[in-house]
Structure 1
Amino acid sequence: MLFDQITNNKRYLFWTLQAVGWSGWAFTFYLGVLFWGKVPSENYHWYLPLISAIGMCLTLGLRALYRSMWEMPIARRVFAIVLGSYTAGLLWMACRAAIFYEVFPEERKAYEEHGMAWYSYFDGGISAFWVMLVWSALYFGIKYYLQSQEEKERWLKAMNMAHQAQLKMLRYQLNPHFLFNTLNAISTLILDQNTTLANTMVTRLSRFLRYSLDNDPMQKVTVAQEMDALRLYLDIEKVRFEERLELHFDVEASAETALMPSLLLQPLVENSIKYAIAQAINGGAIAISARAFGGDLLLSVADDGPGLDLRNGRLPKGGGVGLANCRERLKEIYGEHQSFRLSTTEPHGLTINIRIPLEREAKAP
């Protein structure tokens, strides 16, 4: 929780890196002093934190400088980085020398015994410059990285919103002919004073539309739920076509709890009704099946209508909006981990086979 708060908040991240970075410098410097055999006095543990704090304050000035010239041309930024780092380095070394020789006279005596004069501390201005330059490079590197991550996150959000919009557009593209034909059939029943059946159709239509609108196209439903909605839709069509519409459902028990996109099969069945049932004098049959096989869920919708002029099992141009939308939905949701194939039903008709990854509903703990 604390790590997420630090990484997601720029202010927390900056001060955390400042504290860690300057503490690391102080510790490294201390180890270097020990390595060269210059054992520090008991007061040395105050000196390193103090000069580290001064260095941190100077980098805050650099930060303000860099933020003010962030939109400047690259050449001016590079010049400001080099000049600012060198100036900060000299100021840092001047503070270090003043503190070292005035506040810690015992340390001054010890260093003079090793042949180090006060002015030699300014020779360390170059090393201090490199420390500030490294800090500047890290500042710009981290800032550019965070900026690129924010841009990437914005791009991903935009892509996700476009992805959801595409899915919703495909999902809610209900055929207006279905509503028109259903309402026309209800009107005919009312004129024939068959109010009981008309009321039944209105109730079924209301339940079907509520199901289609209440289910988020980004969410999946079980095969059993999808088949119930499909039966609700077909019950409405059954009133129109009566005995001319023959239905066959074959859903394996192992496939009933599998997940699939909501109302995926409805436009396929609607396509079969439009081309195989409505245009045939004697009507026809539609068979719907679902089964689990290995790691896949296999779905199919078959009719015994005139079929389509298939080319390599693919939908020819102008072969139906419902089929094209179904294929696009599958691509949007599953990418390459799906297949949508068309074939001929023997002796005539159209069979649509769909393969998607087998997913199960997560059980509540």
Structure 2
Amino acid sequence: MNMNAILKDKRSLFWTLQFVGWSGWAMSFYLGVIMWGSPPDNYLWYLPLIATIGMALSLILRGIYRYMWEMDLPRRIVAIAAGSYGAGLVWMACRGTIFYNMFPAQRKITERDSMSFLSYFDGAISAFWVMLVWSALYFGIKNYLQAQEDRERSLKAISMAHEAQLKMLQYQLNPHFLFNTLNAISTLVLDKNNELANIMVTRLSRFLRYTLDNDPMQKVTVAEEVTALQLYLDIEKVRFDDRLELRFDIQDEASRALMPSLLLQPLVENSIKYAIAHAINGGYISVSASIEPDTLVLQVADDGPGIDLSREIPSNGGGVGLSNCRERLNEIYNERQSFRLSTTDPHGLTITIRIPLEYSKEG
């Protein structure tokens, strides 16, 4: 069993630490006896026995501590000190009884010693310190594990909120897009252009399947993003026909880079809404992807009326797609991204996105 599995399994961790801790105490005690002389016969049987009794007493303390876990700090400290000292006295009494029965010669020596009571008292203090150290370790480790659990729960809650935020941002524009598309299909049906309406429904189905199959928490390659974008633009081409000109400039190296899925679709939709839909002769939308040192550069440009750069609002109003994309980038990359607006020469809007350069591990 690896360390991470042990840390997550509290029962296994407790018994592992119990065995290691009490075995370590017995070994250190034995080494201390050896330093002062040769231990009596059967001493190697005596030590495991009293260590087992100490472990049993610590289990009783564990039950008491579980009961008083929610007590206020002063009462808990008093309970720990009293419990440790009581367990130390009982442990020392058991040790003395077993020792004198296993080693009767030592008992005769002790009975002639007028300081035997003080020796027992010193032993009880020593046993108290052992139990107190055990109690401190028990509370320390338990508090640490509980803090880790609270931290994991907090991180999980943050992650879930983060994922919900990203999904909300990704799907925020879909109702508007669906409304326009279904309205266009309805118009085609009323005009009895059933073949084109069927084509549009098929393309809409393919695009929606792609959006539903892609998790906004996962990243896709630029090539996959462009494919999804073309699914979306296939639908818009039915609406605008020759009024919509598309230009793609994707570098080979950039096509393998990773980016958030469906990041560009709201930007392209924003361009169609404000640059193409209101232009009598239509216009163009260009999408490009290139590589700079450790950076993926994405651009969406159009030749529409542009925006007020001081307020970042399209001249026709709105601009939800821009804030949507900016918020999503901030959620994913924080300060490691940039989202810049500029004017397309001679007029229009150019959006430049810079994100950290990443490649799929499988690639």
Fold equivalence (TM over 0.5): yes
| Cα deviation 1:176-227 (Å, max 9, x = unaligned) | 3322222222222223322221111111111111111111111111111111
Q: Which residue of 2 aligns with 1:23?
A: 23
Q: Answer yes or no: is the 8 Å Cα contact 1:5–1:12 preserved in 2.
A: no
Partner amino acid for 1:217? P
- Following the alignment from structure 2 to structure 1, what is the Cα–Cα distance between the partners of residues 237 and 305? 20
Q: Which residue of 2 aligns with 1:315?
A: 312
* C-alpha deviation, 1:328, in angstroms: 1.0
Q: Which residue of 1 aligns with 2:239?
A: 240
Partner amino acid for 2:157? A
Distance change in 2, residues 1:252/1:114 (3 Å): farther
- Following the alignment from structure 2 to structure 1, what is the Cα–Cα distance between the partners of residues 270 and 193? 28
Is the partner of 1:71 in helix, strand or coil?
Answer: coil
- Following the alignment from structure 1 to structure 2, what is the Cα–Cα distance between the partners of residues 145 and 136? 14
Q: Which residue of 2 aligns with 1:71?
A: 70
Q: Which residue of 2 aligns with 1:176?
A: 175
Q: Answer yes or no: is the 8 Å Cα contact 2:294–2:356 preserved in 1.
A: yes
| Cα deviation 1:226-272 (Å, max 9, x = unaligned) | 11111111121112112211111000111111111111000000000
Segment of structure 1 superposing worse, 149-158 or 114-123: 114-123
Distance change in 2, residues 1:175/1:117 (3 Å): closer
* C-alpha deviation, 1:283, in angstroms: 1.3
- Following the alignment from structure 2 to structure 1, what is the Cα–Cα distance between the partners of residues 159 and 131? 41
Runs of 4+ in 1 over 4 A off after TM superposition: 109-116, 316-319
- Following the alignment from structure 2 to structure 1, what is the Cα–Cα distance between the partners of residues 350 and 135? 65
- Following the alignment from structure 2 to structure 1, what is the Cα–Cα distance between the partners of residues 244 and 134? 77
- Following the alignment from structure 1 to structure 2, what is the Cα–Cα distance between the partners of residues 315 and 107? 92
Determine what percentage of the aligned residue pairs are the same residue: 70
- Following the alignment from structure 2 to structure 1, what is the Cα–Cα distance between the partners of residues 42 and 265? 82
| Cα deviation 1:146-170 (Å, max 9, x = unaligned) | 1111111111111111011101111
Q: Answer yes or no: is the 8 Å Cα contact 1:302–1:350 preserved in 2.
A: yes
* C-alpha deviation, 1:144, in angstroms: 0.9
CA RMSD of aligned residues (A): 2.0
Aligned residue-pair number: 361
**TM-score (ref. length: structure 1):** 0.93
- Following the alignment from structure 2 to structure 1, what is the Cα–Cα distance between the partners of residues 95 and 121? 10
- Following the alignment from structure 2 to structure 1, what is the Cα–Cα distance between the partners of residues 181 and 156? 40
| Cα deviation 1:28-56 (Å, max 9, x = unaligned) | 11121122x22102311111111111111
Does structure 1 residue 346 correspond to structure 2 residue 354? no
Does structure 1 residue 210 correspond to structure 2 residue 192? no
Q: Which residue of 1 aligns with 2:154?
A: 155
- Following the alignment from structure 2 to structure 1, what is the Cα–Cα distance between the partners of residues 225 and 341? 21
Does structure 1 residue 325 correspond to structure 2 residue 324? yes
Q: Which residue of 1 aligns with 2:34?
A: 34
Q: Which residue of 2 aligns with 1:8?
A: 8
- Following the alignment from structure 1 to structure 2, what is the Cα–Cα distance between the partners of residues 117 and 184? 100
Does structure 1 residue 47 correspond to structure 2 residue 46? yes
- Following the alignment from structure 1 to structure 2, what is the Cα–Cα distance between the partners of residues 323 and 340? 9
Q: Answer yes or no: is the 8 Å Cα contact 2:18–2:55 preserved in 1.
A: yes
* C-alpha deviation, 1:21, in angstroms: 0.7
- Following the alignment from structure 2 to structure 1, what is the Cα–Cα distance between the partners of residues 292 and 31? 64
Q: Which residue of 1 aligns with 2:90?
A: 91
- Following the alignment from structure 1 to structure 2, what is the Cα–Cα distance between the partners of residues 116 and 316? 92
Q: Answer yes or no: is the 8 Å Cα contact 1:93–1:122 preserved in 2.
A: no
**TM-score (ref. length: structure 2):** 0.94
Partner amino acid for 1:139? Y
Partner amino acid for 2:31? L
- Following the alignment from structure 2 to structure 1, what is the Cα–Cα distance between the partners of residues 247 and 157? 43
Q: Answer yes or no: is the 8 Å Cα contact 1:291–1:299 preserved in 2.
A: yes
Distance change in 2, residues 1:115/1:44 (3 Å): farther
* C-alpha deviation, 1:111, in angstroms: 6.4
Q: Answer yes or no: is the 8 Å Cα contact 2:275–2:303 preserved in 1.
A: yes
Q: Which residue of 2 aligns with 1:295?
A: 294
Q: Answer yes or no: is the 8 Å Cα contact 2:40–2:103 preserved in 1.
A: no
Q: Which residue of 1 aligns with 2:166?
A: 167
| Cα deviation 1:313-346 (Å, max 9, x = unaligned) | x735975111111111111111211111111111
Partner amino acid for 1:4? N
Is the partner of 2:87 in helix, strand or coil?
Answer: helix
Q: Answer yes or no: is the 8 Å Cα contact 1:287–1:301 preserved in 2.
A: yes
